[in-house]
Amino acid sequence: MKTVSAYAATSATEPLTKTTITRRDVGPHDVAFDIHFAGICHSDIHTVRGEWGEPAYPVVPGHEIAGIVTEVGSEVSKYKVGDRVGVGCFVDSCRDCESCRAGEEQYCTGGGMVGTYNAVGRDGEPTQGGYSGAIVVDENYVLRIPDSVGLDEAAPLLCAGITTYSPLRHWNAGPGKKVAVIGLGGLGHLAVKLAAAMGAEVTVMSQSLKKMEDGIRLGASDYRATSDRATFKELHGRFDLIINTVSANLNLADYLNLLKRDGTLVELGMPEHPMQVPAGSLIFGRRSISGSLIGGIAETQEMLDFCAEHDVRPEIEVITPDYINEAYERTIASDVRYRFVIDTASLR
């Protein structure tokens, strides 16, 4: 076992503080790597603040993890010491159910995926995430980071990137498709870049026009304020696909009415409380509402390679670990352009 420094939450109300955790010995199929960067996802905040139920404190969050391999197990074939690697939202799954066999491990029905933190690993030990100096993960749940993608930029791709890439692919975003992205935060800004790179026509729907210049630069051709009621009149019936990345409750009826016939609104944000869906906004237009959870390992690798090839990178603000609590407050206040990434050098 190896002891590493980490930042952990000990309750829903206390700030995260520095502590130490242990990582298991490297097993035959394991890859150990030094963590260089870890992104801050809004899911980290929902989890540690108990907004999705009480987690098993202490929680070391972080599921956007990038680093360099330091040791591999005797049976490992995919990675070697010195490789640039990453880990996203899960570190294991049953490997045998229909979803796992289909490469959709995030929807594992054989006990569920094992989350990168706030879960129990197959060894019976609690998992702890990326706000730490090092991690040990089975090679089948490790991603390869393309050479042209910096480790700091790679981190947010491992959750925000794949979470937006997967539904854009599933609902065929591409030339001739009109896509709206609600919320220009960590997920939202990558959704804009990815959808534009896929050839779709992208509209951003943000609370205000404050970030309009950014949205256009990221690849949107239209940018609207949701605080302006005229937006909902003008965009009525316009979109094939709406990607909702908002972490708070919205009036979904307003947004469903912006879909064309047979259009789909995909929920990515997971607010604390349920939202109401009036049946009429689905019935008139045969519209759908769906959800999407991150993406499988193979699709995550495909997304990383797509980003390398199409020059898609997140816009990041790199911070030191002692700034995590302030970064949380700024993320909640929508004051993030567009992902905080922790440089974990001081935790190694």
The residues that touch Zn ion, with contacts defined as CB under 5 A, are: 41, 43, 93-94, 97, 100, 108, 110, 159
Residue 222 has φ and ψ, to the nearest 5°, of -145, 150
Strand partners, 157: none
What are the Cα distances from residue 66, in Å, to 18, 141, 294, 323?
A: 20, 13, 17, 19
Distance CA 169, CA 302 (A): 11
Comparing CB distances to ligand NAP, the nearer of 79 and 323 is 323
Distance CA 125, CA 123 (A): 6
108 binds, among Zn ion, ligand NAP, none (CB under 5 to 8 A by kind): Zn ion
Comparing CB distances to ligand NAP, the nearer of 40 and 197 is 40
Comparing CB distances to ligand NAP, the nearer of 61 and 263 is 61
Altogether, the residues listed in the chain come to a count of 348
Q: Is 257 an interacting residue with respect to ligand NAP (CB under 6 A)?
A: no
Q: Smallest distance from the beta carbon of 198 to ligand NAP, in angstroms? A: 19
Contact positions with ligand NAP (CB under 6 A) in 185-204: 185-188
- Give the pair of three-digit tokens for residue 86: 């990453």
Comparing CB distances to ligand NAP, the nearer of 300 and 344 is 300
Comparing CB distances to ligand NAP, the nearer of 5 and 292 is 292
Comparing CB distances to ligand NAP, the nearer of 32 and 226 is 226
Q: Is 157 an interacting residue with respect to ligand NAP (CB under 6 A)?
A: no
130 and 116 Cβ atoms separated by less than 8 Å: yes
Among residues 206, 264, 300, 344, the one that binds ligand NAP under rule CB under 6 A: 206
Strand partners, 67: 35, 85
Q: Smallest distance from the beta carbon of 98 to Zn ion, in angstroms? A: 8
Among residues 246, 258, 307, 327, the one that binds ligand NAP under rule CB under 6 A: 246
Cβ-count burial 104-122 (b if 16+ within 10 Å, e if not) = bbbbbeeebbbbbbbbebe
x-or-dash string of contact with ligand NAP, 73-102, rule CB under 6 A: ------------------------------
Comparing CB distances to Zn ion, the nearer of 21 and 190 is 190
Q: Smallest distance from the beta carbon of 331 to ligand NAP, in angstroms? A: 5
Residue nearest to ligand NAP (CB): 185
- List, edge to edge, every strand of the sheet that includes 239-244: 222-225, 201-206, 178-182, 239-244, 259-267, 288-291
Distance CA 321, CA 340 (A): 11
331 binds, among ligand NAP, Zn ion, none (CB under 5 to 8 A by kind): ligand NAP
Q: Smallest distance from the beta carbon of 202 to ligand NAP, in angstroms? A: 14
Q: Assign residue 82 a region: left if phi > 0, alpha if psi is -120 to 50, beta otherwise?
A: left
What sign does the CA torsion over 250, 251, 252, 257 have? negative
Comparing CB distances to Zn ion, the nearer of 181 and 256 is 181
What sign does the CA torsion over 80, 84, 90, 95 have? negative
Which stretches of the chain bind ligand NAP, using CB under 6 A? 41-43, 46, 159-160, 163, 183-188, 206-207, 245-248, 268-270, 292-294, 331, 334, 336
